[in-house]
């Protein structure tokens, strides 16, 4: 079971994502990034966070500890924004917390060394779990310095958009191929054959039942087409096990190099700029020096 803690202080909302998670201090003296059951993404995003995150950990990838957070909306009574207050009041009870990594920063291509096998393992996990939200434009990766002689390490976060098949059970085949050419780690030359050889045998029925068993019953209840939370867990296990066994079919390949990605970004930016009317590209700066101009495409793009 995941550890359960009680929130004692709501520190601040994080507005970088649509779910508006919050930084919360708990009674175990830990600080967590909490994703709330009342968010627009709903409980399925939390189910995906648990199954994929805990699977990543068991496959040897770095992933922060998850805890269940008992949250009383009164803890966030001083939050001034009404939309956040609405979210907190809709999320009384158990929510999902991820250990805050102090000093961690967003991944950039030059921030950390990633060898081809590690890159391949991350891509393999994302392909297995249909996580389409780890791209060059939204990596959902963190770099955590070790504050010592060792180099900083890559950490995985944010798997709420994974397991896309559970939004329409039966609509996706376990061997479906997804386009991972623009994966955040594609420029590191992922060794997919080595990753598949190492990880596929580890994804067993018992392992999948272990991670699916970490999801609270309440987050699986009332799923249309299923008689019980146990039946929903069985569906996750059966689908992911079948997908692991079909890895030879969906194994991602054909990653562009970093230079190719940079060239594609430059072409995209140029195409966007060509499509802007002249008046939008450059307008007078009414607040600057006389005759000065400002590039408003940055602000309006």
Confidence of residue 247 (pLDDT cuts 50, 70, 90): very high
User: Which of 36-40, 149-153, 207-211, 291-295 has the highest mean predicted lDDT (pLDDT)?
Assistant: 207-211
Please tell me the predicted confidence (pLDDT) of residue 278: 63
What one-character DSSP code corresponds to residue 103? T
**Is residue 270 in some structural domain?**
no
Please tell me the predicted confidence (pLDDT) of residue 16: 72
CA 112, CA 105: separation in Å to the nearest integer? 11
Looking at per-residue pLDDT, the higher value among 277 and 8 belongs to: 8
Please tell me the predicted confidence (pLDDT) of residue 2: 96
Average pLDDT over every residue of 268-296: 52
CA 191, CA 255: separation in Å to the nearest integer? 11
**Is residue 285 in some structural domain?**
no
Average pLDDT over every residue of 193-198: 98
Please tell me the predicted confidence (pLDDT) of residue 119: 97
Please tell me the predicted confidence (pLDDT) of residue 151: 83
In total, how many domains does the chain have? 1
Confidence of residue 202 (pLDDT cuts 50, 70, 90): very high
- The 3-state DSSP class for residue 59 equals coil
**Is residue 180 in some structural domain?**
yes
**Is residue 262 in some structural domain?**
no
**Is residue 276 in some structural domain?**
no
- The 3-state DSSP class for residue 142 equals strand
Average pLDDT over every residue of 146-151: 72
**Is residue 107 in some structural domain?**
yes
Average pLDDT, the chain: 89
Per-residue model confidence as pLDDT tens digits over 250-272:
999 989 877 776 776 677 777 77
Please tell me the predicted confidence (pLDDT) of residue 277: 66
Average pLDDT over every residue of 76-94: 94
The total number of residues shown for the chain amounts to: 301
Alpha helices of the chain — where are they, by DSSP H? 43-58, 82-89, 116-128, 192-199, 205-212, 229-245, 247-250, 258-274, 278-281, 297-300
Range of the domain at 60: 3-250
- pLDDT of 224 strictly over 80: yes
Cβ–Cβ under 8 Å, residues 196 and 249: no
- The 3-state DSSP class for residue 109 equals coil
Cβ–Cβ under 8 Å, residues 142 and 155: yes
Average pLDDT over every residue of 178-188: 94
**Is residue 221 in some structural domain?**
yes
Average pLDDT over every residue of 146-156: 82
Average pLDDT over every residue of 203-228: 97
Average pLDDT over every residue of 83-99: 96
**Is residue 281 in some structural domain?**
no
């Amino acid at each position: 079971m995941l550890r359960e803690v009680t929130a004692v202080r709501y520190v601040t909302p994080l507005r970088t994502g649509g779910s508006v998670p919050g930084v919360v201090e708990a009674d175990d003296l830990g600080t967590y990034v909490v994703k709330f059951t009342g968010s627009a993404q709903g409980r399925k995003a939390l189910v995906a966070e648990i199954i994929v995150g805990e699977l990543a950990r068991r496959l040897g990838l770095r992933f922060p500890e998850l805890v269940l957070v008992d949250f009383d909306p009164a803890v966030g009574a001083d939050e001034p924004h009404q939309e956040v207050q609405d979210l907190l009041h809709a999320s009384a009870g158990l929510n999902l917390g991820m250990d805050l990594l102090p000093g961690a920063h967003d991944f950039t291509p030059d921030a950390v060394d990633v060898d081809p096998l590690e890159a391949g393992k991350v891509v393999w996990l994302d392909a297995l779990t249909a996580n389409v939200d780890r791209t060059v434009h939204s990596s959902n990766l963190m770099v955590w310095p070790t504050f010592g002689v060792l180099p900083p390490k890559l950490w995985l976060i944010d798997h709420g958009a994974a397991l896309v098949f559970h939004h329409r059970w039966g609509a996706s085949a376990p061997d479906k191929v997804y386009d991972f050419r623009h994966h955040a780690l594609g420029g590191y030359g992922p060794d997919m054959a080595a990753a598949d050889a190492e990880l596929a045998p580890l994804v067993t029925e018992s392992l999948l039942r272990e991670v699916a068993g970490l999801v609270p019953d309440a987050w699986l209840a009332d799923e249309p087409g299923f008689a019980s939370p146990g039946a929903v867990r069985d569906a996750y296990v059966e689908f992911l096990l079948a997908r692991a066994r079909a890895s030879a079919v969906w194994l991602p390949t054909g990653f562009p190099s970093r230079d190719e990605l940079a060239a594609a970004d430059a072409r995209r930016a140029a195409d966007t700029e060509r499509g802007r009317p002249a008046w939008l590209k450059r307008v007078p700066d009414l607040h600057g020096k006389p005759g000065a101009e400002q590039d408003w495409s940055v602000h309006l793009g």
